[in-house]
Amino acid sequence: MIFEDDVELALALACEELQMTRDEIIRLILREWLEQYGFIELHELDEGGDTNSGA
């Protein structure tokens, strides 16, 4: 998918700054937007980083 020039530039700058691929950045932006507007549940991480709850 190709966006307008200003969006492509912003994506390129974000990729460089965050050291992520273009696909990773687009996935991150889309997920955060969908969470913000309530289309999917918020994805919260524990501060300890342990994903195995209760074990």
Domain count within the chain: 1
pLDDT (tens digit per residue) in 16-50:
999 999 999 999 999 999 999 999 987 666 555 55
What is the reported pLDDT for 42? 79
- The rounded distance, in Å, linking the Cα atoms of 34 and 39 is 5
Q: Is residue 16 part of a domain?
A: yes
Q: Is residue 52 part of a domain?
A: no
Which residues lie closer than 8 Å to 16 by C-beta, 6 or more apart? Answer: none
- The rounded distance, in Å, linking the Cα atoms of 47 and 50 is 8
Q: Is residue 10 part of a domain?
A: yes
Q: Is residue 44 part of a domain?
A: no
What is the reported pLDDT for 27? 97
Closest alpha carbon to 15 in 5, 6, 7, 25: 25
Compute the average pLDDT of residues 3-12: 98
Q: Residue 15 sits in which domain range?
A: 5-36
Q: Is residue 53 part of a domain?
A: no
Q: Is residue 43 part of a domain?
A: no
CA 40 centroid distance within chain: 13
Question: What would you report as the CA-atom Rg of the chain, rounded to the nearest whole angstrom?
Answer: 15
What is the reported pLDDT for 46? 57
